[in-house]
Structure formats: C-alpha cells, structure tokens
Structure 1
Amino acid sequence: MSIATDHALPEVTLRIGSESRSIGVAFHEHVNPATGQRDARVPLAGSADVDDAVQAAHQAFSLWRTTPARQRGRALLKLADLVEEHAGEFAALAIADNGTPQATAHASVAAAAEWIRYYGGWADKLPLGRITSVVSAGGSFGHTLRQPYGVIGAIITWNAPLMSLAMKVPAALAAGNTVVVKPSELTPFSAMLFADLVRAAGIPDGVFNVVPGGAEAGAALVDHPLVKKVTFTGGPETARKITAAAARTFKPVLLELGGKSANLVFADADLDAAARHSTFMAFGVMSGQACALPTRLLVQDSIYDAFVAKVADIAASFKVGNPEEADTVCGPVINQGAIDRVEAMVARAQEEGARVVAGGARAGGELAEGFYYPPTILADVDPSSELAHKEVFGPVLAVIRFTDEAHALALANDTDYGLSGYIWTSDARRAIRLTEQLETGEVVVNGAPNAVTERPFGGIGHSGNGNEGGLEGLEEFFWTKSVAYGDG
C-alpha cells in the first residue's frame, strides 16, 4: 500500500496481515468536529474480522520474537524517522480526526516520534533476566527469563490517536510481541498512515494490525484466547467491562484511564509562570480533552482573586476557532455529545454556587456549525460538588480556594482518580513533602513536562494501573519465567 503524499483523507480500512479490507460489519459516518459535516465512512470490524487479525498476529509472532533484537530496533528507529518525515500529513489527519489545532498537532507528532525512538533504542538492551542462585552457593543453578506475551490487544481512545499508538505499540514490538490495535471509530485516520509507515519501516505483515470498530470489536479483542494481554486507554466505565471480561481467563490488563488532576498554586510561587502554564494546560492541550490535565486549580487564599484574574486574562487571549489556522489555540470538542455533557456540567455547577469567570456558553457565529466551547473558568467551586470530582473532558477549569499546605493536600487527594499532580511553589522542602504525599502516579513541579518518554506514566485508583513510558513501560510487555537446573 502506498504512503499518502498529500493531505487528502485516506481511505479507512481494516489492516489485517497483508490485507486491506474496506468492508466490515457496518459503517460509521465520521463527522469533522470543526464543521459538523460528515466527511468519511469508517468500516467497523466485527468479531470475525478481529479473529482474522488476531490469527495474523499470532502467526507473525513466531517470526517477530526470533527476529534479532538489533533488527527490531532498527525497524522502530526507521519508523520514528518516517513519522517525523510525514509530520505534515499526521498534523492534517489530527485536524480531521478530532479538530486538534495545528500547533498542538505538530507537537504531538514530534512527541510520538520520540516515544518510538526511545523504545527502538531499548530493543537490543532488554532486561532479559537475572541469575537467582548458583550451584557453588549450595543450590541448583537458577535464573529468570523475561519473555514476550505474544499477541497484545491495544484499544485506544479518540483524543490523541497518534500519541496512543506511540505510547503502546513501540514498547510492545521492542519486547518481541505482535499487536492488534482497535482505534476509535471517531478518529480512524492517523492509524491508517501509521500502518503504512510500519510497513515502510520493514516490519513484517501481521506484526501490526488495525481493526477500527466499536464495542463489538473491542469485546472480541479482549475475549480472544490468543490475545495474551490487553492495553487500554479510555474511561473507567469501559475499563470496568474490559477488566471483567479479562478476569474470566485471568488475562492481564494495562489501564490508562482518566483523571481529575489537582494543580496546587502557593502564594510563594512564580505566579506569572504558574498562570501561563495552568491556563495553557487546562485549555490549550486538546481543549481540555486529555486525561492528565490539571483541571482542578487549587489556589492559596491570599492570592486567590488576583490569580483567578490572571488566568482569566490569559484564557481570553486564546483564539478559539478553525484548527487549520496557525494561531488557533483551542479547537472544537469531539462531537455534539461532548457539547451536551459540558453544557450540563457547567449549568449544574452554577446551580451549586460556582461563579463563571470566563466562557460558560457554546460558541456561536461562524463557529456555530462546529463543536466549539470556549475556555470556561468556574471559581468558588464547592470541593464536594460534581465539578470537583467528575472528569469533564472539555475546556472547563474548576477553581477552589485553600488555606494552607495541609488543606491543599486534603483537597488534592479527595478524589477517586490518581493520575497526575501539579505543584507551584518556591519552597523546595514543601515540594518534596507534597510529592511524597500526593496520591497520584506522577507529580510535576513548577512547570516540568509530564508524560515524557523516559519516565513511567500511569495512575492509581480510577486512573488505572500499570505504566507507559520509561523502562517500566517496556516491562509491561514481558512475563517472567523462573528456570532451575539440578545435578541429577
């Protein structure tokens, strides 16, 4: 299959081994969130298609796992280069997939290439095992082996399709596994180009397979007996179904779920830097549609009013509009359902006493046909309210006042989620104390980047289990075998 050379939307197909299928059990009409117009028909895989994809991956596993590690690594490094070379196409597809603004789309392509390159570099340096005992110490000779599972079922969400591929697939392939990916039917385009580039990188057919689909395809992938582990990015409700299904055969799952991350801003912080970072992270990254974003802004009471005003001023400067325009910061949300959810949550928050500082209503005028909702700031949010506890997955920031460090910590940990935590302070001792006490999978201080390749990324509680990123992300795709040799 040829690689796209322009920015036209690719035909969405099922990629199974060397085959490209344009028909599934049904079709989904893709809607461009920037315009509200249908622009493509997406074939949906059924259980038989999923079975074919898993069988292809299973057959390819014996070849791929015995491919020399340095060769697997070179293929992944080539894939990273190809992703960078096709940055323009990926950015255009991200705009079409879910309305990602151009600047964010290009940044995501660069980040995806780095994730692929990171795990490509690990392929021939894998932690293959360790010696556990030796005969000279009075026992048998024992050691462990770290072995790939086989077929990995990967189910990715719609908000960052290329990054989800990059955070899952390279680590699994570097470890010697094969993969069947089910991208969301809402965002199918990026996976098509990615699959083209996987083949162009020299990775054999069947090692990477794509089955766009809905709930039927996802359930068939999780249930398949030849799928040895499932990695899922999405929401807790779907994760519960996946976990329950996987439990029937004790199949391990890696879950990267949602978040309601707290952003603690103390009076001694660099308030200008904190305001810029807090505002951009709440609204400028996928219009609030990402799991690790700091959507609860906790501000010390002595600076509360001034800091809220700073954030509102910065948010007002963000252009909301056409994601194809270079100066757009905030694009649309994914669909009408997202608009309805955001509007309802904002209305309920106001009924519970929250004060709208910015935004608060769907964009009209020339943006009325698309799914645009401007940056919305709600101050004086009740810490026990729905908005303080439930993930909005849209451009809505809940601002809550705190008095001191103990109060801030109690508010931050008062959530079922546990993905990310953010701290702004000039007091290094306070930062160390809080990083130890925040109940989250990651903590970033004073604007450090989050979800980077070399550090593990994952959560606890309703934010999931397991890790992507770092050596820990690679180890997710091995199982451990204990071996011993006696002298009999």
Structure 2
Amino acid sequence: MIASGSYDGTGEEAMVHMQASSIHEVDSADDADLPRVALRVGSENLHEGSEGSFRHISPVTGRPQATVPLAGAHEVRLAVDSASAAAPVWRAQTPQARRDLLLRLAAAVDAHTDEFARINAIETGTPTGLGRMLVHGAKEWISYYAGWVDKLEGTVHNAVANTGTLAFSQPEPYGVVGIIFPWNNPIASIGMKVIPALAAGNTVVVKPSEMAPFAVEYFAQLCDEVGFPPGVLTVVPGTSEAGNALVLDPRVELISFTGGPETGRQILAACATQLKPTIMELGGKSPNIVFDDADLDRAAAQVIRSLGVLSGQACVFGSRILVQEAVYDEFVERLTRLADGMRAGDPADASTVLGPVISEQAQDRILGVIDRAIAGEGKLLSGGRKLEGDLSGGFYIAPTIIGEVDNDAEITQKETFGPVISVYRFAAEDEAIEIANSTAFGLGAYVQTADISRALRVSSRLKSGGVYINGGPSVMANLPFGGIGDSGFGREGARAGIEEYLRLKTVSVGSIV
C-alpha cells in the first residue's frame, strides 16, 4: 500500500483515515474563508469523491473548518484520461506559446500574493509574512522555468555532409507525469515540481495532501483563468487510495514524489514493476556544524530560524547542531535566549514568527519524540511542551532545544519534523564530520566558520546533496536541490530540474554505422 505522503508515510496516515471516516458538519462561515476544493479532472470539477470526504481541522484553533472531497481510483483514472488526451495538444504548442502562458501565470500568482498567503495561513498555520515570501519564491520558479521553455536544444552527432549522413538527439517530454507532495509547503512544491514538468511539455496530475489542498486549488483556478488548456493540469486530493492509483496507472510515465523515505520505498517498489522512472525528495536530518571561530550571533540566528520557519516542518533545515567544545556553553546560551523569545501566535498577525504544527496527531508525535529523548538522558534546554493560554486550542509546540543527546538516539537518526533541534559537542574537525555523516539521510548540511579553507575542506567531506556555508538553505530556482542516501535522488531547480522531466531521443539519418 502506498501512503499519501505524510511526514514519514506511517503513523499519521492511519490517523488521516480516522479523520476522513468521521465527518462532522463545519461552520459555513469558516468554510467560506477557503476555496472550495474540487477534484479537477480535465474540464470537470467534482465536489464528491469515491473515497468520501476529509474533515479539515484548523491547526490554529483545533476546530473543523472545511471538508475536502477525496479522490479514489475512479477519479484518478478520469484525471489520467484527461491528462493523456491533453498531452499531444500541450506538446504540440510552440515553445513560445507555453512560455507566454507560464509568464502570465507568474504574473497572476504575483498579483494574488496576499490571497495565497492568507489561504496558506488558514490551512497550514504558516505566518502570513513567511507565506508572502513563499509565494514570491513560487513566482520566481515559474518565471525561471518559463525562460527555459524555448531554450531546450538538441545536439548534432556525426554529421558528414558529403556522405549524406546525420545523427542528432533531442529532449522530449515524457507525456503524463504524476506528482505527489505533502502538506508542509504546497506553494513551494508547485514551483519546484509542477512548473518544470509543465515547462518541459508534460501534462501533470497532482495529488496534493488532503491536509493542505486549498492553495493548490487556488493555483489551479489561476491556471484556468490565464488560459491553460483543459487536462494540462489536473488535481486530485486524496489519501493512499489515490496515491496507489496514480503510481500504478501505466499511462503515467514518471512519478515525482516528496515525502518520507518509507513511502518513497513503497512507490519505488511499485514503479519497479513497470520500470517507471521516479524523482524522490525524501527528507533529511541535516547537521549544522558551528566551529569556534564562527560568528556566533549570526550562526545562532540562523539555527533559530530552523525552529521557526514552517515550525520546523521542512526537511532541509539543520536539526542537528554540532558545536565545538570551546564555544558550546556560550552558543547554547544564545540559542536558548533566542528560542525563549520567539513569538508564537495567530499566523495572520504580522508579528508572529512561530505558527502551529499541522495537526493534533503531529503535535502528539513530536512531544513523544521529545519525551523519549529526555528519558534517554538528553537534557531539555528550552521548550518541550505544548503552548497553553490563548493558543491552547491550536497545535502549538514551544521551540525546543535538547542537549547531550546520544548519537544513536531516535531524535538523532529519525526526522522529527517539528520545532525541535538537538545539540552535540565536538572537539575537532574530524569528529564533527564523523557525527555529521552518521545518519542515513543526506539532503542538506551547514558549516559555520570564518576559515574559508576549512569551510571548503569540510564541505567536500560531508555526505549531502547540498552544503550551506555561513547561512541558511539556498533553495532557489537557479540552483540544483536534492539529496543522497535516504534523502532520495533527482534534482529540482536549475537546468537539472527541467531535465528530470525530459528524456533524450536519438535520430539517425543515412548510413551511419
């Protein structure tokens, strides 16, 4: 069974089914604050799905606020029907026509930044200030890949004019691409996955998480408004039933997935039966190495952002903080002071830094990880509790720092996916690298030092798809992003990101041997 792409494809999946099977009436006023989600299959918008409905709970208040139709195998089949019919039409459009559509889409997204940020705050609890930045980032990804559409060139091989022989290779779209991504950052996932697939000339069937389908719905509405042909983008929110159907449909020629490694392995096993290619972004347990010559104020501020941005629900953030012994106590004091001063609150409030985690189940899971770390002799330095008072109805967790953790502990080896970091001591460079490389993940790694030679030397030894020196993660449209090991394979961003959605065809003319 293929899970729906929750944080790790396991525990929360069963809980999602429990929510989906016990629908409650929702306040129509709350419901009106969000776009009405449809199962978008070509020119049809279905408001009922064969898998029933999902009761969407506000992470801010803990109260029901909308219902989401859940696609099953039937709706996914209709979506793939529509995408398959549209594929030759979309591919036949001139590069200039596809480019201009994407540029119109970028302008439309930019013009609706505030509405996207408002929707994101309601559905995921992301503070609107951060939400606007994420929408701006998505607009940049759309504009960037619009620029690639008419620049995808082939290569001529072995051309011999006087013998009439010629060979050339050219990139071509796959056809229908299936895209599955989780709830933590749907706006970024649109830019990183959906846009390069469309720019390459593919049609796309998107299965967003049923826990965050509203921004994706709003995006699909904008695609309609700017003139994308029916079937080029179809959207089918759902759980594992929809994921299974999308992955197993032989007409879907490539799967791009973001989620946990266990779910990724299930998808890979299913795709192997059809020799279907995949792109996998599977999370991380990123080390952040702070050497004793680092700018400690700057490094501490960067580490604390890993707690606040998306409430720590992002795979690339540094969650294992390795601090050289000479500055360990001083640096930890800075971290705890900043964490204790972080403002949690209503995501609509411009001064809010920390929003809630996505669900009560996520909150319980994260608090369980913290409790087990402390029981295993970890030292609680800050946080470690649910926030009460005015925030008690929502799913808020105080920014949490845990020190003196064993390197084999659960909190070290498994993705926590919440506002939690663990801090480790090291004496020398080799020890820091050994600790940093001691997990199966390899998505991001960070190095904080004033010594550029050391920064480059350490970077070359870290097992990671990306290394970020004296700063935060650089997840930008013009830079390749992706992991190794349990963090997956394939790249998003830059030329590599669009080439993932293209395959080469070689054409030989004449008597070439």
Alignment of 1:354-365 (within 5 A): 354-365=378-389
Question: 1:446 matched to which residue of 2?
Answer: 470
Match in the other structure for 2:411: 387
Q: CA deviation at 1:448?
A: 5.0
1:275 Cα shift? 0.7
Structure 2 distance, partners of 1:38, 1:487, is 69
Partner of 2:346: 322
Range with bigger deviation, 381-390 or 217-226: 381-390
Q: Distance in 2 between matches of 1:269 and 1:434?
A: 14
Report the Cα offset of residue 456 of structure 1: 0.6
Instruction: Name segments (4+ residues, structure 1) moved above 6 Å.
Output: none
Unpaired runs of at least 5, structure 2: 1-30
Q: Counterpart of 2:119? A: 93
Structure-2 residue corresponding to 1:353? 377
Change (3 A) 1:7 1:77: farther
CA-to-aligned-CA distance 1:92-145 (integer Å, 9 cap, x gap): 11011111111111111111110111101111111x321222236999522112
- Pick the aligned partner of 2:367 from 343, 348, 355: 343
Gaps of 5+ in 1: 1-5
Alignment counterpart, residue 308 of structure 1, candidates 315, 323, 332: 332
Partners of 2:383 and 2:197 lie apart in 1 by: 42
Superimposed CA distance per residue, residues 29-66 of structure 1 (whole angstroms, 9 cap, x where no aligned partner): 00000101011110001111101111111111111111
Residues 18 and 308 of structure 1, relative CA distance in 2, 3 Å threshold: same
2: CA distance between counterparts of 1:71 and 1:355? Answer: 59
Partner letter of residue 272 of structure 2?
A: A
* 1:412 maps onto 2:415 in alignment: no
* Corresponding residue SS for 2:318: coil
Distance 2:437 2:162 in 1: 48
Aligned counterparts of 1:347 and 1:223: Cα–Cα separation in 2: 39
CA distance in 2, matches of 1:78, 1:404: 53
The offset of 1:379, in angstroms, is: 1.0
Deviation, structure 1 residue 283: 1.2
1:10-409 matched pairs, under 5 angstroms: 10-25=35-50, 26-126=52-152, 128-135=153-160, 140-280=165-305, 282-409=306-433
CA RMSD across the alignment: 1.5
How far is 1:387 from its partner? 1.1
Distance across 1 between alignment mates of 2:440 and 2:133: 31
User: What is the alpha-carbon distance in structure 2 between the residues aligned to residue 133 and residue 337 of structure 1?
Assistant: 60
Query: 1:253-285, CA deviations, whole angstroms, 9 ceiling, x for partnerless residues?
Result: 1011110000011011111111111111x2121
Give, as a single letter, the amino acid of the residue that structure 1 aligns with 2:92: T
Please give the secondary structure, in 2, of the residue aligned with 1:431: helix
Residues 379, 403 of structure 2: 8 Å contact kept: yes
What's the TM-score once normalised by structure 2's chain length?
0.92
TM, length-normalised to structure 1: 0.96
- Alignment partners' CA distance in 2, 1:475 and 1:201: 25
In 2, the alpha carbon distance for the partners of 1:351 and 1:384 equals 14
1:178 positional shift: 0.4
Change (3 A) 1:459 1:468: same
1:437 equivalent to 2:500? Answer: no
Question: Identity, % of aligned pairs?
Answer: 46
C-alpha change, 1:448 and 1:260, in structure 2 (3 Å) is closer
Shift of 1:241: 1.1
